[in-house]
Amino acid sequence: MRDQIDMTPTLLDYVRDVSLREEPVLRKLREETAALPDRIMQILPEEAQLLALLIRLTGAREVLEIGTFTGYSSLCMARALPAGGRLVTCDLSEEWTAIARRAWQEAELLERIELRLGDALETLDALFLERGPACFDMVFIDADKAHYPQYYEQSLALTRPGGLIVLDNTLWSGRVTDPTQQDPDTLGVRSVNDTLLADERIDLSMLPMADGITIARKR
């Protein structure tokens, strides 16, 4: 049995050359984000393309994103939605999401995206009160890692049976395997990974791509 292939820069360039379909507005946003001090939070374009494919495969119409940053993943997912579909995305930063808004407007997708600024845990509670349980077809979690366990539980309540929850950074640059790493973010990722494995409410697959992508299907 072969082991996982090492993703060298040359091989990653090849993957993008033969599979990435990145429209000009997306490339422009990615390049703008790459110049920011916090650029490490930018989702990889091939991962955003995977999210869009999952939306199309499942026919998702109502999508929730926890963690907007500059809006690259929001833009990819919103573009993949069918007519009448809606994306709700949550973030704390007005500065980062101002960049996102400009990109959404340039792509003519503002009407599909609802941005909610504020504490994500409070936003998720508000969505549950407003919409009730099982109101989203897919949830993408890519926010502060210390609160991943709470985001997961709230997301599961908001996701319909058969819907997907996708968690980013579940390998956390390998720190999850280092017992000396005891910071809140690493502990949060480890905790949610353990919870997912034991959770009989979901079907589960962790993909060793990007920084670790976990896909959970609510039973």
Identify the CA nearest to 139 among candidates 172, 127, 129.
Answer: 127
Distances (CA, A) of 112 to 40, 55, 105, 157: 26, 14, 10, 23
Whole-number Å distance between alpha carbons of 193 and 147:
13
Domain positions in the chain:
9-218
Give the count of alpha carbons within 13 A of 165, CB side only. 30
The per-residue pLDDT for 134 is 98
The per-residue pLDDT for 4 is 79
Tens of pLDDT along the chain (219 residues) come to 677 788 899 999 999 999 999 999 999 999 999 999 898 889 999 999 999 999 999 999 999 999 999 999 999 999 999 999 999 999 999 999 999 999 999 999 999 999 999 999 999 999 999 999 999 999 999 999 999 999 999 999 999 999 999 999 999 999 999 999 999 999 999 999 999 999 999 999 999 999 999 999 999
The per-residue pLDDT for 57 is 97
The per-residue pLDDT for 7 is 85
Task: Judge whether 86 and 112 are in contact, CB under 8 Å.
Answer: yes
Rounded to a whole number, what is the distance in angstroms from the first to the last CA of the chain? 31
What's the topology of domain 9-218? Rossmann fold (3.40.50)
The per-residue pLDDT for 1 is 64
Strand order of the β-sheet with 136-141 is 113-117, 86-91, 62-66, 136-141, 159-168, 213-218, 202-207
Distances (CA, A) of 69 to 87, 109, 142, 157, 182: 15, 17, 9, 24, 25
Task: Judge whether 142 and 194 are in contact, CB under 8 Å.
Answer: no
